[in-house]
Amino acid sequence: MNIFREIRFYFKKNSLLFFLELIILTLFLTLVYVFALFTIGINEKTDKIENIYNGKEIYRLIDKLEDPEEFSDFLNSKSSVSVLSNFYNELDTDKNFQFLSVFDQFIPIENFKGDNTFDYAYGEDMEVKGKYKDEISKKIYQNAKSMQMNKNSFKFYDIELARGKEIDWEKVDYSTGRIPILLGNDYSGIYDVGDVLIGDYYGKDFKFEVVGFIKRNTYIFYNGSSEKYLDNYIVVPYPLRLSKIDNEMGDMESEFYGILYSAMINGDIAIEKSGNSLQTLLKNLDRISQKTSFDKYTIIGVRNFVVQYNNMIAAINNNKKIILFLLILNLIIMFIILKGISHFIYSKRKKVYYLYFLNGCNKGEIYKIFSIDLILPYILAFILNIIITWKYKFFDEMILIILAIIIFLVFSVIYRIFIKKLHKDLENGFR
Amino acid sequence: MIQLNGINKKYILPNGKEQIIFKDLNFYMQEERSLAILGRSGSGKTTLLNIIAGLDIKYKGKYYFDNRLLPKNIDEMSSLRLEDIGIITQNYNLLYDRNIFNNVAITLHCLGTNKKDIGKKVKHALEIVGLTDHKYKYPNELSGGESQRVAIARAIVKQPRLLIADEPTGALDEETEKDILKVFKNLQEIGHKLIIATHSRSIASICEKEYLIKNNDLTLVR
């Protein structure tokens, strides 16, 4: 028997019902998919927040070089910049806390291939947007969003790669003029591993070599934002250790390191929570300050947003219950509708099964036609769901497996109902 | 060819009571080319045909086909229909999603006949019933008589040894009945064996023997 010919006849007379069934199934699967994504997202966030902040206090260290003149004088003094390097190295290696140095200085990139969503000014009220010509170098630049981070921050925020290789921190050496970088996931298809971007980093030309891509939806806590997503960012690693400024070093070079070091000493400090964690931190900072002779810093508490975030998650968890209830309700309604449609289609197709039976087809062949009639919209709805999730970039294998199980279960129940009916009809000779 | 021994058949009515249809019914068809089964509505004509066709296996008694005792198994009986029996149903049972050619060919699809042979056999069957020009029409374009001819073509296309027809002219007017009568005469002439359940005297008259179902049993009338 040619099954495909029967499918053709099936579509001819039942296309409207078929598409109705397909739409209902696809909508339901998409709804389940979004719910699963939402749940996984919330669980991941909750876990991440707990992992990061459970038993920890977060403070922010900021420099007090606010006065432009004072800052300029500081940068012009090579010994002062060296003091900064010592101060940073001590902060970064201290065993009593974790120093998380993160800064979002944009980087003008030559012949940038990305669209405006990667632009630092995208969605902001800024004058320079998109590509522009640098009046001095005459080169065409675009200011790409960038996040500079130290190794502690990478570990602390558990930044994982989608592909490529991890940063080899020992080899991050700005003096070579070449820095390995990671790209946010939105850069996939625009740049590839091994590509080299040329850009201006604090007034100095650098070659940025792409070594990997960060997993989609990776975010960090930055500057009061509880979810700073890195999907459209260039992530630049800070050097592992900062070198002192040599007296032989040119002024331009010295100024570059001055700006870089002063950016690097601004960061968050994570410390084990205790009754006197602030006192302990201040004591340790004071010790470092005395050792390095740098005291132009201050400490502020930044826990508020974490508390807000936890409150928000509690509210979302409550909403999750409501959504789960609606989802189950939706499943029941969908099941009733599907059963109704299947019943209608069965009534219309019964004559076909009967005629095959009447003319001598065995049970197995009739079950085969019936099964294909029934399973087609389920298979197509599942494929459509894969296409939709793929196209809109929220594809997740684990959720698809869950969806496959759900759709299989729904199909199994419907199939069981109607195969019993068909069996009964065959036993009774369709009378 | 066909031998039914001691057939007992009953139905359970919706009110829970039993209705006996056959009580120790015996039926034989050996050399006869055609038999008519007569009887009042509800006497069991269709039930008897369903048993012979293997569509009803819920009965007591024995059924021999070519001296072989048939098991009461759906697939075994399907196999019997596939190879030896063609069925002409009461209400034509045509499929409206396909043309006449494909309606007739459905029988050959069950047999797994190749495409080329399907074309030849369907053409031949349609010639016998006089519908050669209608093969690309759809059932909704046909009259009652034409629809019945398609049902006959569907039953004969695989050239079965036995044709079973249940009230083949029940829904037709007198003139159309005459046309169908000619078709049945022609089928007998070209060698088909026929069992026809009918109300119609004229249809019964073309058969070699007539049986009457009465009081849950079968009686030879002619």
ipTM of the complex: 0.92
B11 near A CB under 8 A:
no
3-state SS string for A371-400: HHHHHHHHHHHHHHHHHHHHHCCCCCHHHH
| Of A346 and A128, more confident | A346
Confidence of residue A199 (pLDDT cuts 50, 70, 90): very high
Mean pLDDT computed over B135-139:
93
* Interface contact A2-B109, CB threshold 8 A: yes
* Interface contact B93-A351, CB threshold 8 A: yes
Confidence of residue A65 (pLDDT cuts 50, 70, 90): confident
Residue percentage of chain A with pLDDT more than 70: 95
* Interface contact B75-A362, CB threshold 8 A: yes
φ and ψ at residue A360, rounded to 5 degrees: 110, 5
Tokens 């000493």, residue located: A265
Cα–Cα distances (Å) from A60 to A63, A265, A269, A275, A297, in that order, read 10, 10, 6, 18, 10
The residue type found at B36 is A
Contact list in B for residue A428 (CB cut-off 8 A) is 56, 58
Cβ contacts of residue A196 below 8 Å, gap of 6+? A207, A208, A209, A210
Q: How far is A21 from chain B (nearest CA, A)?
A: 20
Mean pLDDT computed over B49-56:
93
The set of long-range contacts for B46-49, using a CB threshold of 8 Å and a minimum separation of 24, is B46/B90, B46/B166, B46/B167, B46/B197, B47/B9, B47/B21, B47/B22, B48/B22, B48/B197, B48/B213, B48/B218, B49/B164, B49/B166, B49/B195, B49/B197
Q: How far is A343 from chain B (nearest CA, A)?
A: 18
Contact list in B for residue A431 (CB cut-off 8 A) is 50, 55-56
Q: Are A296 and A73 in contact (CB under 8 A)?
A: no
- pLDDT of A1 > 70? The answer is no
Q: Are A245 and A72 in contact (CB under 8 A)?
A: no
Confidence of residue A312 (pLDDT cuts 50, 70, 90): low
Residue of A352, A362, A431 with shortest CB distance to B78: A362
Mean pLDDT computed over B26-54:
91
B47 near A CB under 8 A:
no
pLDDT of residue A304: 57
pLDDT of residue A305: 54
Confidence of residue A409 (pLDDT cuts 50, 70, 90): very high
pLDDT of residue A108: 94
- pLDDT of A309 > 80? The answer is no
Cβ contacts of residue A205 below 8 Å, gap of 6+? A177, A198, A199
Nearest Cα residue to B95 out of A422, A343, A359, A21 = A359
Contact list in A for residue B80 (CB cut-off 8 A) is 360
Contact list in B for residue A422 (CB cut-off 8 A) is none
Q: How far is A389 from chain B (nearest CA, A)?
A: 36
Mean pLDDT computed over A217-239:
88
- Please give the mean pLDDT across all residues of chain B: 90
Residue of A5, A9, A426 with shortest CB distance to B74: A426
Contact list in A for residue B75 (CB cut-off 8 A) is 362-364
The CA distance from A406 to A274, in Å, is 47
The CA distance from B93 to B56, in Å, is 18
- Please give the mean pLDDT across all residues of chain A: 87
Confidence of residue A89 (pLDDT cuts 50, 70, 90): very high
Task: Look at residue A177 and give its three-state secondary structure.
Answer: coil
pLDDT of residue B7: 93
B90 near A CB under 8 A:
no
Nearest Cα residue to A356 out of A371, A343, A366 = A366
The CA distance from B127 to B107, in Å, is 17
- pLDDT of B61 > 90? The answer is yes
* Interface contact B109-A1, CB threshold 8 A: yes
Task: Look at residue B58 and give its three-state secondary structure.
Answer: coil
Q: Are A264 and A62 in contact (CB under 8 A)?
A: no
pLDDT of residue A419: 94
Q: How far is A409 from chain B (nearest CA, A)?
A: 29
3-state helix, strand, coil in chain A (%, to 5): 55, 20, 25
- pLDDT of A292 > 90? The answer is yes
Q: Are A342 and A374 in contact (CB under 8 A)?
A: yes
Residue percentage of chain A with pLDDT more than 90: 45
Lowest mean pLDDT among A150-159, A296-305, B88-97: A296-305
* Interface contact B95-A352, CB threshold 8 A: yes
Interface of A with B (CB under 8 A): 1-2, 5, 9-10, 12-13, 351-352, 354-365, 426-431
Mean pLDDT computed over A71-100:
90
For the segment A366-389, what is each residue's pLDDT rounded down to a tens digit? 999 999 989 999 999 999 989 988
Mutation target among A4, A9, A359, A422 for the B interface, most CBs of B within 10 A: A359
3-state SS string for A5-58: HHHHHHHHHHHHHHHHHHHHHHHHHHHHHHHHHHHHHHHHHHHHHHHHHCCEEE
Confidence of residue B12 (pLDDT cuts 50, 70, 90): confident
B112 near A CB under 8 A:
yes
Contact list in B for residue A1 (CB cut-off 8 A) is 109-110, 112
Q: Cα torsion for B129, B134, B140, B145, to the nearest 10°? A: -30
